[in-house]
Amino acid sequence: MRARRDAAIRLLRTALVATIVIPLAILCWGTWVTYNNAFAHADEQLSATMDVLAEQANTVFESVALTFTSVDTLVGAMSDDQISASAQALHSKLHELEVATQAVNAIRVLDKDGHVLVSSQVVPAPKDQDLSDRDYFKAQVANDAGTFIGSVLVPRVSESSYFGVSRRRPLQNGQFSGVVVVSVVPPVFTDFFSRLARDTGGNYVLLKGNGDILARYPPSPSGVDRVSPQGGFMHILAESPAGGITTSRQTVDGVDRRVGVRKLGVAGLYASAGIELRKIYADWLWTLSAHLIFGVPATILLFVLVLLTARRTQAFYAEAERRELAEQALRQSQKMEAVGQLTGGVAHDFNNLLTIIIGNLSIAKRGVVEARAERALNNALTGAERAAQLTQRLLAFSRQQPLNPRAVDVNRLMVNVSDILTRSLGENVELETISGAGLWSVEADVSELESALLNLALNARDAMPNGGKLTIESSNSYLDDEYCRQHAGLSPGQYVLVAVTDNGMGMSAETIEKAFEPFFTTKEAGKGTGLGLSQVYGFIKQSGGHVKIYSEPGEGTSVKLYLPRHDGEHVDVPAEIPAASERGRGETILIVEDDDGVREYAAEILRDLNYQVLEARDSESALKLLDAEKNFDLLLTDVVLPGKNGRELATEVVRRRPGLKVIFMTGYSRNAIVHHGRLDRGTELIPKPLTEAVLARRIRYVLDGPRAQN
């Protein structure tokens, strides 16, 4: 049996390697090589084309530079009056230069006010023609711009577009005296581009560094004369001012191209050549198809062989796969179980330590009269309380805090919490609450939902240092299948949406991605722990909901909380109301706590509150007191105990003494009184670290409440 199995495995592996791995590897390699070769060939073609473009453009502008040299020789340092007096002779010379230089369309000499003194086209020059608004003139007025190349312009007396190339005339008495302008028409370049395109079928552009197009072939659609700042040209210049090659969608005509850019010898000018991506892909696919013609039949033949082999071993591999998946699930479960136990153990022990620290600091404050010592104790107490909050938030993020969910009217909760939010936000922040009509109820832990809203409000306040407006709005919402497919762990259905929106600084996309990570914060050191949003995230997820951030820098932030609709009957459970007095009336309380420091602190507090106290360090000791007929009115027990845990102890005690009231204490409850992240119905819980106020209020509330039903 084993020999046949091994033979089948070897056969299957051989077939898999022969029919899948090798053909796919060859196909992938061939595809990659031909793809790279296609683009490499395109890049070589672009580079060669840009050499030609650069040579032609440099030749044109060299002839323009020679024209300037000749004009300087003719005009020199002549004054405006001398030029006007010699207009006829100068016109003839300039006209000869224009005719001799094919790239030049016109040559003009302008005075300091932008009026034409002499022109190669007409004589006398029109005195009323004012060119002071042209870019080639304005660029030279304040400072010497050297050889300045302007944008394409439409002349006022003819229909042919041109761009002006200007240089300053020599200064007169140290003052600006005007410019010499050489007009160049785009067809000088586009005619050359069109001839080049017949051979290569490319796209060619002469343009300035600021994106202004001087010449283009094919012509720009709809008269577009400037490339977009987000286009490939600007992207290349941002990477390398000397030019380069990239792939982009050209904003001028919306065509995807492989684009090359080359800086010319003329200041501020660039030549660009482009090849359409569809042409590159067509060449690549044509080359690839030759390989496929031979490879596909062979692959099909080998695939049939694999199929036959797979049928022989189908049952075996199905079972092997099931076992592998089961083993992987078990390993993952064990890993998460270990992480949960580690987190819970740390939280339990740390909260016990904090109970001792906070409790004894509170007791120590009672006997302190010196102001300095009192400040020191207050600072220590504040630090310990912050550590307790940190532990609570870590449990919230890991979704291991015990929740006590009940049906909640979100609109009513928003009204109740608005007073607290108003005081917390300060006078500079305006708070507005908008309650949705016909709002569904949700099932959630009220205190945690209030804490989530407070966390979001405080974050919004910090994002509005100069004041602003905070809006909390509720509404019914439906998350469809498409949205839920994009967000793992979310089920489609009806939700109640609570949106917390501010008009503060906003967040970038990078910040939003990390916003829910523990200890991530954009605040200054000491201004926050980075666990506020993590706590909100953990609570909403543990409640079966969803949280989403929408924000843009400078536009504010909206955090949307989605809680599942509660379909059950709405039961309005009143919040805990403190008794008229939180002191005891001589009742007896049995404290069961394995940590001596925590037990001694709780016992001392309860005695100070006029209670009789019995102590036990474990379940066995507590049951011995029960066997000894010790009477007590309430059992106050830790959840995590050696031997029987707190839940098991409470069950046994109540079985023997029906109606006895029980309160649990815990820093981390695990699964004793919490299931699926929710506190068992009817369970009274005091979270650690214990404080005198909470302990007194809860015990009095439970003792004064109705008799437990068993």
Is position 575 within any domain?
no
263-291 average pLDDT score? 84
> pLDDT of 678-688, one tens digit each?
555 667 777 77
User: Are residue 365 and residue 436 in the same domain, yes or no?
Assistant: no
Which of 496, 530, 564 is the last residue before a domain boundary? 564
Which of 340, 362, 397 is the last residue before a domain boundary? 397
Tell me: pLDDT of 325 over 50.
no
List Cα–Cα distances, 390 to 280, 393, 514, 529, 689, in angstroms: 58, 5, 19, 8, 12
User: Are residue 600 and residue 524 in the same domain, yes or no?
Assistant: no
- For residues 710 and 703, what is the distance between their CA atoms, to the nearest angstrom? 16
Looking at the structure of the chain, the number of domains it has is 4
- For residues 496 and 478, what is the distance between their CA atoms, to the nearest angstrom? 8
**3-state class of 690 per DSSP?**
coil
User: Are residue 171 and residue 60 in the same domain, yes or no?
Assistant: yes
User: Are residue 486 and residue 618 in the same domain, yes or no?
Assistant: no
- The residue length of the chain stands at 710
Q: How confident is the model at residue 167 (pLDDT cuts 50, 70, 90)?
A: very high
Residue 489: give its domain's CATH number: 3.30.565.10
Name the residue range of residue 700's domain: 588-704
Instruction: Please state the pTM of the whole predicted model.
Output: 0.42
- % of the chain residues with pLDDT over 90: 9
Q: How confident is the model at residue 168 (pLDDT cuts 50, 70, 90)?
A: very high
Residue 59: give its domain's CATH number: 3.30.450.20
pLDDT at 394: 54
pLDDT at 80: 87
> pLDDT of 68-122, one tens digit each?
999 998 888 888 888 888 989 999 999 988 888 888 888 999 999 999 999 988 8
**3-state class of 267 per DSSP?**
coil
Looking up tokens 């029987």, which residue turns up? 644
Tell me: pLDDT of 308 over 60.
yes
User: Are residue 452 and residue 538 in the same domain, yes or no?
Assistant: yes
- For residues 88 and 100, what is the distance between their CA atoms, to the nearest angstrom? 18
Which of 517, 532, 564 is the last residue before a domain boundary? 564
pLDDT at 137: 92
Q: Who has greater pLDDT, 408 or 320?
A: 408
Residue 678: give its domain's CATH number: 3.40.50.2300
Is position 556 within any domain?
yes
Q: What is the CA radius of gyration of the chain?
A: 42
What tokens does 296 get? 């596909």
Is position 60 within any domain?
yes
User: Are residue 118 and residue 226 in the same domain, yes or no?
Assistant: yes
Tell me: pLDDT of 179 over 90.
yes
267-286 average pLDDT score? 86
What tokens does 168 get? 């300053």
User: Are residue 633 and residue 658 in the same domain, yes or no?
Assistant: yes
User: Are residue 560 and residue 680 in the same domain, yes or no?
Assistant: no
Q: Which residues contact 232 (CB under 8 A, 6 or more apart)?
A: 246, 247, 248, 249, 250, 257, 259
Is position 311 within any domain?
no
Q: How confident is the model at residue 182 (pLDDT cuts 50, 70, 90)?
A: very high
User: Are residue 370 and residue 442 in the same domain, yes or no?
Assistant: no
